[in-house]
A = this chain, B = another copy of it.
Amino acid sequence: LMRPYEKDPLAIYAASFATVRSEAKLDRFDAGMERLAIRLIHACGMVEVADRLAYSKDAYMAGHEALAKGAPILCDCEMVGAGIIRRYLPADNQVIVTLNDPRTPDHAKTIGNTRSAAAVEFWADHLEGAVVAIGNAPTALFHLLELIDQGAPKPAVILGFPVGFVGAAESKAELAANPRGCDFVALRGRRGGSAIASAAVNALAVGLPEIGE
């Protein structure tokens, strides 16, 4: 016989977030960052990622206010965009993904970098005060920081969650060591991913509305 299972979505959310609160070490966070950390943990099933979050003191409010004022959300891949819950966005914010822009492959060859890095250059007109969510490519984060060093406009907040074995840990360490005057949240090390990046955006937008927070 099939085992019984919880089918009520609100009960599932409540039990999930209660488990996260009981297992994760959250006391170093303020209220906004606590909710963001809970959503990140919920997205990946690992309470210990709370211990590896690097962030600027004002990151949560900077991102929350940017979204409230209508800032666009710039994502490094389609999956991050797909995970952003549109009904949570406070100002019908634009979600912009340029990775599959038809100009991207040629531009990658021109600049001698990956498609993900080339795609970041097409964010230029939207960067000022934007929410940037990187959930896949270390080269996108590295190149964004290079462009800011070269004078590109600064986003309000950089959500740094590239994943993997080449450049992910290094690009997030670079962001945390020198955020170039931007607010930021990043998960140190190899772990990251699009679901975590989307969860961070959703947290900045609304916190934890599923349990009334």
The interface bits of chain A over 171-209 (1 if a CB of B lies within 8 angstroms of the residue's CB, else 0) are 100100000000000000111111100100000000000
Contacts of A170 in B (CB 8 A): 3, 5
State in angstroms the CA–CA spacing of A81 and B142 once bound together. Answer: 27
A212 at the B interface (CB under 8 A) = no
Q: How many of chain A's residues touch chain B, expressed as a range?
A: 35 or more
State in angstroms the CA–CA spacing of A5 and B172 once bound together. Answer: 12
Contacts of A167 in B (CB 8 A): 5-6, 12
A16 at the B interface (CB under 8 A) = yes
Give chain B nearest CB distance to A20 CB in angstroms: 7
State in angstroms the CA–CA spacing of A146 and B195 once bound together. Answer: 27
Q: A78-B82, A174-B2 are in contact. Are A7 and B165 (CB under 8 A)?
A: no
A44 at the B interface (CB under 8 A) = yes
A42 at the B interface (CB under 8 A) = yes
**A-to-B contact residues, CB < 8 Å:** 2-3, 5-9, 12, 15-16, 19-20, 42-46, 77-79, 81-83, 112-115, 117, 138-139, 142, 145-146, 149, 163-168, 170-171, 174, 189-195, 198
